[in-house]
Amino acid sequence: MTFNSLLNLQKKIKSNKNKNPKISYTASLFKGGKSKCINKFKEESLELVSASRTNNKKNIVHEAVDVFYHLLVLLEFKNVKISNVMKEIKKRQNMSGIEEKKNRKKK
């Protein structure tokens, strides 16, 4: 998956969020509000954790895709662009995770 793939998926989510929730899963998540979006992301994350306890790579990939999708739904619900997330990733690439966490605590 490339950055463009994530961008395209976020655009698709944005275009579907106001469709009829009876025919669009994305729209049904938005209709359910913030709690629905958060809970679905949490559920899918836990399913990825569970799948990761096995050696079934196909299932791990399936659950990882669900996590990506539901993360993008949540970001769209909160009006956060994936490009902002990618900028933060790029910024952190030149520092260790330990250093990044230390810097975060100072704020």
Domain ranges of the chain: 3-80
Contacts of 76 (CB under 8 A, 6+ apart): 10, 13, 14, 17
End-to-end Cα separation, the chain, in angstroms: 33
Which pLDDT score, from 0 to 100, does residue 107 have?
Answer: 56
Per-residue pLDDT, averaged over 43-59, amounts to 97
Task: Compare 4 and 22 and report the one with higher pLDDT.
Answer: 22
- Position 49 scores a pLDDT of 98
Average pLDDT, the chain: 92
Whether 97 has a pLDDT exceeding 90, the answer reads no
Q: pLDDT confidence of 21, banded at 50, 70, 90?
A: very high
CATH fold, domain 3-80, is Helix Hairpins (1.10.287)
| pLDDT of 23 | 97
Query: For residues 83 and 7, what is the distance between their CA atoms, to the nearest angstrom?
Result: 8
73 close to 13: Cβ distance less than 8 angstroms: yes
Comparing CA positions, the residue from 75, 58, 57 lying closest to residue 6 is 75
At 101 the three-state DSSP class reads: helix
